[in-house]
Amino acid sequence: MRAFLVVMDSVGIGGAPDADAYFNDGVPDTGADTLGHILDACAKGAAEEGRSGPLHLPTLSALGLYHAADLASGGARADDTPPMGLWGAATEVSKGKDTPSGHWELAGLPVPWDWHFFPDTTPAFPKDVTDEVCRIAGVDGVLANCHGSGTVMLDEYGAEHIRTGFPICYTSADSVFQIAAHEEHFGLQRLLDLCETLAPILHKMKVGRVIARPFVGEPGNFTRTGNRHDYAITPPEPVLTNWVQDAGHRVYAVGKIGDIFSMTGIDEVRKGDDANLMGHLSDLIDEAEDGSLTFANFVEFDSLYGHRRNVSGYARHLEWFDAQLAGLLARLREDDMLLITADHGNDPTWTGTDHTRERVPVVVAGCGEGTLGQIGFADVAASIAAHLGVRSHGPGRSFL
């Protein structure tokens, strides 16, 4: 008996009841629907780069993804074929539409405070924060100091960064402080040391994450590397990973899960790009021991396609994920549970470049068929704990 919790980062399904309280470029998220709008774009022939035609997700739809989407946002995209899995739509109560808020609550702990967000102004950061960056890094200034998309920051400030040695510091609508620096000209370890030293200062302000964003290349051709590292606040109470580990079972983190939870309750981490992560998840389907939890995050839906408002790329990635998933399901053991969900939305058709406040799908293989209805994020953790026979804590209730 094992559990696999897989997060399709940012694959929201619309319908959040409080979307009007969250904004992108001053526009409320009311009506944002990541999956629904991608489906619509594909059906209209508006997502034809590297793929063609209607969105093709036979594996996820058979598990109930489209039924969950209709439940969340009142659409009519599912056919009359009964899904082969459990399916439902989850609503978040934490005040945020970011990675830590979504993952913590999926792991059983709604965020118990309000995150600190930096204003969408230039400069965005208090002088004492940027002074501390300069002191730690041994430089005389920082670049950007504003809200922005990471790839845009590299295009605008990368050359000046190489010339001056000043780190590129930027933020977004999330509770985050990001620092981009060139792996060779600035130094990868120097960047990581800077972020690690700075993180406790920002955490005291309730800034959720300090993120190292290393890149390589030359002006006009900068690219991020796979050496990103998130320095996140440690959850203040035990979460799903702790519950499982404390019960004597092994916990595997695939992707950025280890960073999100500051390694609390985690035995082993496997990283890489999404293609590599799918390989790690496939290996763990074969190798993970009885009683174990594998917690995986596939980030490229969000990082490569959502933030960049790339509808075709997002659709391609969904279709790739769906095809890979079919092979995993065929190799599950009889008493395994594989639960697929998301942490927030990032509608690539929406205004701005930030996450969108949405409900998320919950589809489950290995635990029967039928609707779960409207559930909470924390119910995911409680249900996985019930499946593994470990004690859960917090507000979640098992749907098993």
- Binding residues are 9, 302, 307, 343-344, 355
Give the annotated binding-site residues for Mn(2+). Answer: 9, 302, 307, 343-344, 355
Residue 200, preceding peptide bond in cis (omega within 30° of 0): no
For residues 116 and 142, the answer to whether their CB atoms sit within 8 Å is no
- Which of 243, 7, 203, 9 has its CA nearest to residue 108? 243
Q: How far is CA 337 from the centre of its chain?
A: 21
Q: Is 309 helix (H, G, I), strand (E, B) or coil?
A: coil
Bridge partners of 4, per DSSP, are: 294, 338
H-assigned helices in the chain:
34-43, 58-63, 65-73, 99-106, 127-137, 150-164, 188-204, 240-246, 257-260, 274-287, 300, 311-329, 377-388
Contact indicator for 87, 339 with CB cutoff of 8 Å: no
Label the pairing between strands 176-182 and 209-218: parallel
The span from the CA of 131 to the CA of 133, in Å, is 5
Question: What's the CA gap between 11 and 25, in Å, rounded?
Answer: 20
Pairwise CA distance, residues 372 & 398, whole Å: 10
**Residue whose structure tokens are 């034809």:** 48
Q: How many CB atoms lie within 10 A of CB 54?
A: 12
